């Protein structure tokens, strides 16, 4: 008989994703099935990631969860749904028979610790990265999946097999969706579509990769952090109110989004930034229009958000074509897409428009940004009345891979006793 392991630990990281064709509204709240498909860009984990350690032991008395160092409710229905579904896949992978003596017992209690290196619940898709990371770690812990994908994932990732069944990563994306809808898109790198699906059980509402992160090497992402505060209206509550009260949302889901998805996929495959950028901005604007069309209306943008929108349009108008494109999720922080050769100039424009109040040396973070000197005519046309301190900082990143397995034992968030290693 195989010797039972006293403690099994797995640590994974997972990325944030930013939707360029937005998902807003569910047709099934329990299974988290969307009213429309969506498409996103996975951001690089060198700048934005969630890290999760999952541990199981016969000695644990109860399931426990720590979020950013603070103990949290492990009984949340969505977390329990993910745990239940991963165990189901593990049981299926083991053949549905008596448990393999060498495999980790599915009856052991678990401890989970998760940390974000970015603001939680501030409109930066923290729940997407969090649940994608949880599912990846649990799947590895229980043997419900192989290795998380390496850099440069194949473009067919998440596509159905010849038998019409989703791939392993597609199945895991379906599990991650049970935690947070957009988490299914964080299960893959690059450019990812979350398919609405038709089945009432949601088994076909999965993610598939449109193109890997290596597809568009020049694409860059600037996150303009306006506020790290928790949003006043959470996404779940906001979506339900919109579904119940917004006629525009229904028209968007049924008529507008299907056409935009096909067009956006083409722009990505052709690396057409003019088309990609314009459509990204249009879709962001319409998403926030549905929030305004909701009754009572929901306001995720603030005055600084609107000034960033105006700044982007002045910048593009000055150059005579789309050089930067904004998108906003359910929060005030702007995500700007641009190409590598435009980063330095636009960052300098942002710095002049929103001079840092206190952290000038830490205003730009992430990937290096070169210096740029702005012509007088650009300053006159684009930079109007500066708003000191309007933007806390800029994070410079790019498209990146899906969840990664962390091999270094020193990076486990839980110690050998199954408790958090670091204090908050």
What pLDDT score was predicted for residue 123? Answer: 54
What pLDDT score was predicted for residue 124? Answer: 66
What pLDDT score was predicted for residue 117? Answer: 86
Is the Cα dihedral 225, 231, 232, 234 positive or negative? Answer: positive
pLDDT tens digits, one per residue of 372-419: 999 999 999 999 999 999 999 999 999 999 999 999 999 999 999 999
Instruction: Quickly list H helices, 66-185.
Output: 77-93, 126-142, 168-179
**Residue 296, preceding peptide bond in cis (omega within 30° of 0):** yes
How far, in Å, CA of 328 to CA of 85, rounded? 32
For residue 197, give every residue at least 6 positions away whose Cβ sits within 8 Å of its Cβ, in sequence order, or none. 33, 203, 204, 205, 206
What pLDDT score was predicted for residue 359? Answer: 66
Count of CA atoms in the C-beta half-sphere (13 A) of 10:
24
What pLDDT score was predicted for residue 5? Answer: 56
What secondary structure does DSSP assign to 211-266, as a single string?
Answer: E-TTS-TTEEEEEEE---SPPSS-HHHHHHHHHHH-HHHHHIIIIIHHHHHHHHHH
**Residue written as tokens 């053949």?**
95
The CATH classification of domain 8-214+406-411, taken from the options 3.40.920.10, 3.40.50.10490, 3.80.10.10, 3.30.230.10: 3.30.230.10
Strands 364-366 and 191-194 turn out to be: unpaired
What pLDDT score was predicted for residue 156? Answer: 41
Q: Does the domain made of 219-397 have the CATH classification 3.30.70.890?
A: yes
Domain segments of the chain as ranges:
8-214+406-411, 219-397
Q: How many residues does the chain have?
A: 424
The tokens for 121 are 């619940």
How far, in Å, CA of 374 to CA of 377, rounded? 8
Q: Alpha carbon of 101 to those of 117, 122, 123, 217, 283: distances in Å? A: 38, 44, 44, 46, 52
Q: Residues of the chain whose pLDDT is less than 70?
A: 1-6, 96-102, 119-125, 146-166, 228, 359, 422-424
How far, in Å, CA of 264 to CA of 28, rounded? 26
Closest CA to 287 of 18, 16, 15, 17: 18
pTM of the model: 0.92
The tokens for 141 are 């812990």
What pLDDT score was predicted for residue 370? Answer: 95
| DSSP-assigned beta bridge partners for residue 71 | 66
Count CB-CB contacts under 10 A for residue 314: 17
How far, in Å, CA of 312 to CA of 326, rounded? 7
The tokens for 317 are 């108008």
What pLDDT score was predicted for residue 235? Answer: 85
3-state secondary structure of 33: strand
Q: How deeply is 115 buried, as exposed, middle or buried, from its count of CB atoms within 10 A (0-12, 13-18, 19+)?
A: buried
CB 210 within 8 A of CB 193: yes
How far, in Å, CA of 203 to CA of 169, rounded? 13
3-state secondary structure of 110: strand
How far, in Å, CA of 419 to CA of 172, rounded? 27
Q: Measured between alpha carbons, how far apart are the two ends of the chain, in Å?
A: 41
């Amino acid at each position: 008989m195989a010797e039972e392991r006293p403690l099994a630990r797995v640590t994974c990281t997972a990325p944030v994703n930013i939707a360029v064709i937005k998902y807003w509204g569910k047709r099934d709240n329990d299974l988290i099935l969307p009213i429309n498909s969506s498409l996103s860009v996975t951001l690089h984990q060198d700048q934005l990631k969630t890290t999760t350690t999952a541990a199981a032991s016969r000695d644990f008395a109860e399931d426990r969860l720590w979020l950013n160092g603070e103990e949290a409710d492990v009984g949340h229905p969505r977390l329990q749904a993910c745990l239940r579904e991963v165990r189901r896949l593990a049981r299926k992978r083991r053949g549905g028979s008596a448990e393999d003596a060498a495999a980790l017992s599915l009856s052991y209690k678990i401890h989970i610790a998760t940390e974000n290196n970015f603001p939680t619940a501030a409109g930066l898709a923290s729940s997407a990265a969090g649940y994608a990371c949880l599912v990846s770690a649990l799947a590895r812990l229980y043997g419900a999946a192989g290795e998380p994908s390496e850099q440069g994932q194949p473009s067919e990732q998440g596509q159905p097999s010849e038998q019409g069944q989703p791939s392993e990563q597609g199945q895991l994306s379906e599990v991650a969706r049970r935690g947070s809808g957009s988490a299914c898109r964080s299960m893959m790198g690059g450019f990812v579509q979350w398919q609405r699906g038709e089945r009432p059980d949601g088994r076909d509402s999965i993610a598939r990769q449109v193109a890997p992160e290596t597809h568009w090497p020049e694409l860059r992402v600037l996150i303009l952090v306006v506020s790290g505060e928790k949003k006043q209206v959470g996404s779940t509550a906001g979506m339900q109110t919109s579904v119940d009260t917004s006629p525009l949302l229904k028209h968007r889901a049924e008529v507008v989004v299907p056409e935009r998805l096909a067009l956006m996929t083409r722009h990505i495959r052709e690396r057409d930034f003019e088309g990609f950028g314009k459509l990204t901005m249009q879709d962001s604007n319409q998403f926030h229009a549905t929030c305004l069309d909701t009754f009572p209306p929901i306001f995720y943008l603030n005055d600084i958000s609107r000034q960033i929108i105006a700044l982007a349009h002045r910048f593009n108008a000055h150059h005579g074509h789309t050089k930067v494109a904004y998108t906003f999720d359910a929060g005030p922080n702007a995500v700007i897409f641009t190409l590598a050769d435009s980063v330095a100039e636009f960052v300098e424009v942002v710095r002049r428009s929103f001079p840092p109040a206190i952290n000038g040396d830490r205003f730009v973070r992430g990937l290096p940004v070169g210096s740029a000197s702005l012509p007088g005519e650009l300053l006159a046309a684009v930079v109007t009345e500066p708003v000191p301190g309007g933007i806390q900082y800029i994070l410079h990143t790019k498209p990146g891979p899906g969840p990664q397995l962390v091999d270094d034992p020193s990076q486990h968030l839980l110690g050998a006793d199954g408790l958090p290693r670091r204090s908050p």
